[in-house]
């Protein structure tokens, strides 16, 4: 009994002592005093800086890449992932795992922390903790973090893995979700006029080499391209070819998911340097139409919106985009390309098309003879030096009608037999030719009927005129 009482008394004293210590260290002054005696310092690297625009922390992205190469045998839990399109397995730190790193003559310790949301109103918190002896603080701040960023860039450049980013959200937190971009399109495979392709490639080369030029003239290091033309003419393929040519990531922005300028600014500023921002079908996004022709448009296009609402939405979206392209926010980031696509250029607001915003307008035309030859070479291995007997007939038909490269490519892939595939293309082109003739005949017939229904004095007056 005496032993039991002694043990209980000792345990109670321990609890009282622990309680007193906890109360002691809850005092903020005493906490800071205790911290001054500790030899270890900790830096926190968060995903997004909580500024007005919520910019993504570039150091966080660099740490993520850098630590992949530092995972060793002492790391107890590692996350392994591999998508069908990835060639190798990707290993990253799991939650609460640590990695030790050596820099010059001292060691640092990284720890990955993830705090799940408490409820559906809160957000998930993810960050890295960097711990080290306080005597190395200057070296960590002046050298080590810069080394991590530079080394991560080397790793990413060596991987040469392009990514395409799409906007996602978790509660009020918005972020870019990425997937590997393995689009095979290159300038060699594009069914475009060779001179036009050369013009685009020269423009891209000049852009990436003119850092000092943009600095000297006081302009943001950005370049805007407008791709316009009917559907199926290769606008998306050209964007992929540009990304593969420059080794730039793609950010695919859906304007219809943006509700205000602040949200738009956050999305745009969280994109990285050396990237291509793509806004497809801008004529269909938030009614970004020509304001001079807005009154002529039918309310049937957006019956749920009044004209006042449409103008308001248009003003928000346009002003936000303009400010990012050539306004005050344009200086945030370098070496960025902005690409707009549209099927109907004449529907766009003239303010969007002026030089400095859309620097280069590229017309994606219907398939040409040179475009067909490129497709025939890629799909069927037919060379100009040894053309198939049907190629001459096809080229004559293509010159006299409007057919998209996508339609031509579709027919060329129906068979590995060149004769079968080309015969299918001839059949398609002749059917289109017959349909176009019928349409023209119907138009002429309609004109004759309309003329017959006119009063004789109007008909004669029109003939005189």
Q: What is the pLDDT of residues 276-326, one digit of tens each?
A: 999 888 877 655 544 444 444 444 444 444 555 455 444 455 666 777 777
User: What structural domains and CATH numbers belong to the chain?
Assistant: 35-160 (no CATH), 178-363 (3.40.50.300), 371-453 (no CATH)
Q: What is the pLDDT of residues 421-439, one digit of tens each?
A: 999 999 999 998 898 888 8
Which of 131-135, 302-306, 416-420 shows the lowest per-residue confidence on average (mean pLDDT)?
302-306
Rounded to whole angstroms, how far apart are CA atoms 312 and 315?
A: 5
Q: Where are the beta strands (DSSP E) in 104-186?
A: 106-115, 125-133, 163-170, 173-180
CA 164 – CA 178 distance, rounded (Å): 6
Give the model's pLDDT for residue 420. Answer: 94
The pLDDT of 33-43, averaged and rounded, is 70
- Alpha-carbon 315 to chain mean position: 23
Which tokens hold the place of 317? 């979206």
9 CB-side CA count, 13 A = 6
The order of strands in the sheet holding 125-133 is: 40-46, 125-133, 106-115, 98-103
Cα–Cα distance, 60 to 255 (Å, whole number) = 27
Q: Between residues 204 and 387, which one has the greater pLDDT? A: 204
What pLDDT does residue 295 have?
A: 43
Predicted local distance difference test score (pLDDT) of residue 12: 55
- 140 burial (CB, 10 Å; 0-12 / 13-18 / 19+) is buried
* Most confident by average pLDDT, 47-61, 195-209, 272-286, 349-363: 195-209
342 burial class (0-12, 13-18, 19+ CB within 10 angstroms)? buried
Enter the tokens of residue 48.
């997004």
Ranges 106-115, 159-168, 311-320: which has the least confidence: 311-320
Look at residue 331 and tell me whether its pLDDT is greater than 70: no
- Which range scores top for mean pLDDT: 60-64, 80-84, 300-304, 309-313? 60-64
Q: What is the mean pLDDT of residues 450-461?
A: 65
The answer to whether the CB of 43 falls within 8 A of the CB of 130 is yes
Share of the chain above pLDDT 70, in %: 75
Q: Would you state the structure tokens that stand for residue 305, as one six-digit string?
A: 């919106």
Vertex 157 angle, CA 154 and 158, to 5°: 85
Mean pLDDT within 150-160: 82
């Amino acid at each position: 009994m005496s032993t039991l009482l002694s043990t209980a008394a000792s345990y109670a004293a321990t609890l009282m002592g622990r309680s007193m210590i906890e109360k002691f260290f809850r005092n903020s002054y005493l906490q800071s005093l205790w911290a001054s005696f500790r030899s270890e310092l900790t830096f926190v690297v968060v995903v997004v800086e909580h500024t007005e625009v919520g910019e993504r922390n570039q150091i966080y992205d660099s740490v993520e890449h850098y630590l992949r190469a530092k995972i060793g045998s002492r790391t107890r839990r590692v996350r392994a992932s591999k998508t069908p399109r990835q060639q190798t397995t990707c290993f990253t730190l799991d939650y609460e795992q640590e990695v030790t790193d050596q820099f010059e003559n001292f060691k640092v310790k990284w720890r990955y922390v993830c705090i799940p949301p408490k409820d559906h109103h809160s957000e998930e918190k993810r960050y890295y903790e960097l711990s080290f002896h306080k005597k190395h603080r200057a070296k960590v701040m002046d050298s080590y973090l810069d080394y991590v960023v530079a080394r991560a860039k080397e790793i990413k450049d060596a991987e040469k893995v392009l990514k395409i980013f799409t906007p996602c959200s978790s509660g009020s937190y918005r972020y870019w979700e990425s997937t590997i971009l393995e689009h095979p399109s290159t300038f060699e495979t594009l069914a475009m006029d060779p001179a036009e392709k050369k013009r685009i490639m020269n423009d891209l080369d000049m852009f990436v080499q003119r850092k000092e030029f943009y600095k000297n003239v006081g302009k943001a290091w950005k370049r805007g391209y407008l791709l316009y033309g009917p559907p199926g003419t290769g606008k998306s393929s050209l964007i992929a070819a540009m990304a593969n040519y420059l080794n730039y990531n793609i950010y695919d922005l859906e304007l219809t998911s943006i509700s205000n300028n602040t949200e738009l600014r956050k999305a745009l500023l969280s994109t990285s340097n050396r990237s291509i921002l793509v806004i497809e079908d801008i004529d269909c996004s938030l009614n970004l139409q020509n304001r001079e022709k807005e009154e002529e448009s039918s309310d049937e296009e957006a019956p749920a919106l009044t004209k006042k609402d449409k103008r308001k939405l248009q003003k928000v979206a346009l002003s936000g985009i303009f400010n990012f392209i050539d306004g005050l926010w344009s200086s945030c980031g370098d070496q960025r390309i902005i690409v707009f696509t549209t099927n109907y250029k004449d529907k766009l607001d003239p303010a969007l098309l002026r030089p400095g915003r859309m620097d280069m307008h590229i017309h994606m035309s219907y398939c040409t003879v040179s475009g067909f030859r490129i497709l025939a070479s890629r799909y069927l291995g037919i060379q100009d030096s040894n053309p198939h007997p049907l190629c001459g007939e096809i080229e004559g038909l293509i010159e006299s009608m409007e057919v998209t490269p996508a339609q031509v490519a579709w027919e060329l892939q129906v068979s590995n037999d060149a004769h079968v595939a080309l015969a299918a293309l001839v059949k398609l082109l002749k059917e289109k030719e017959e349909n176009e003739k019928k349409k023209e005949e119907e138009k002429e017939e309609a004109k004759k009927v309309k003329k017959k229904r006119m009063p004789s004095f109007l008909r004669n007056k029109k003939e005189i005129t």
